[in-house]
């Protein structure tokens, strides 16, 4: 059974017990990234993923996410069932946003296909800082927005279970 909530179709009854999940996050835009990581971890645990099965690593910026995600997935002594790569890109006055967003999204898709381990695209590509705060549940309005880490955690569990068959 599925239900519709805040624009995301979530699957009911997701059980992540026994799954090993890698989280790789950037240090750019750290206050927002930390809130996203927290939302991700809380939701993984709420769905049964044990704290000892969640490994968190950090990298400088979003551009480094594909390499680090692939490297960590491939060198893991105990294999991971899913990877959630988290970062926040905020558009500036130069072309960096377009180049990094494109390279990061293409790179992360490739890592998932090449390693055959699901990689979740946890990168916010925002036009303003306010958009980033809203999407990390840190919005200035009364509702504070929605923490997308919660959706990424659910997507990771769903894809890991799908991949296990
Ligand atoms: C250089 C840069 C810029 C301008 N902006 C961001 C950003 O908004 N979010 C982010 O995660 N990283 C940014 N970076 C850093 C690049 O992703 C990368 O770390 C450097 O270009 C070094 O490869």
For residues 73 and 42, the answer to whether their CB atoms sit within 8 Å is no
Check if 91 has its Cβ closer than 6 Å to any atom of ligand 1.
Answer: no
Which pTM value belongs to this model?
0.95
Residue bearing tokens 């049964």: 48
Tell me what pLDDT residue 32 has.
Answer: 98
pLDDT value, residue 6: 54
Determine contact, residues 44/83, Cβ cutoff 8 Å: no
Render pLDDT for 100-114 as a digit per residue (tens, 0 to 9). Answer: 999 999 999 999 999
Question: Is it the case that residue 130 has pLDDT exceeding 90?
Answer: yes
Atom of ligand 1 nearest to the CA of 62: 11
Instruction: Give the C-alpha separation, 56 to 51, whole Å.
Output: 11
The residue from 25, 47, 96, 146 that is catalytic is 96
The CATH superfamily assigned to 34-164 is Lumazine/riboflavin synthase (3.40.50.960)
Please state, in angstroms and as integers, the Cα–Cα distance from residue 66 to each residue in 10, 11, 16, 129, following that order: 26, 27, 24, 23
pLDDT tens by residue, 39-63: 999 999 999 999 999 999 999 999 9
The answer to whether 47 and 153 are in contact (CB under 8 A) is yes
Tokens 């306010």, residue located: 130
ipTM of this predicted structure: 0.99
Give the pLDDT score at 1. Answer: 38
Q: State mean pLDDT over 150-156.
A: 98
């Amino acid at each position: 059974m599925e239900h519709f909530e805040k624009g995301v179709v979530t699957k009911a009854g997701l059980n992540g017990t026994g799954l090993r999940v890698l989280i790789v996050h950037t240090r750019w835009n750290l206050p927002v990234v930390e809130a996203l990581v927290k939302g991700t971890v809380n939701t993984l645990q709420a769905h049964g993923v044990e704290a000892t099965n969640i490994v968190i690593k950090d990298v400088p910026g979003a551009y480094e996410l594909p390499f680090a995600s692939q490297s960590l997935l491939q060198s893991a002594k105990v294999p991971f069932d899913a990877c959630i790569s988290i970062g926040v890109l905020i558009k500036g006055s130069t072309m960096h946003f377009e180049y990094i967003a494109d390279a990061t999204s293409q790179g992360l898709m490739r890592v998932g296909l090449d390693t055959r381990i699901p990689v979740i695209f946890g990168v916010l590509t925002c036009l303003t800082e306010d958009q980033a705060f809203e999407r990390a549940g840190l919005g200035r309005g009364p509702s504070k927005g929605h923490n997308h880490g919660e959706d990424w955690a659910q997507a990771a569990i769903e894809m890991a279970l799908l991949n296990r068959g």
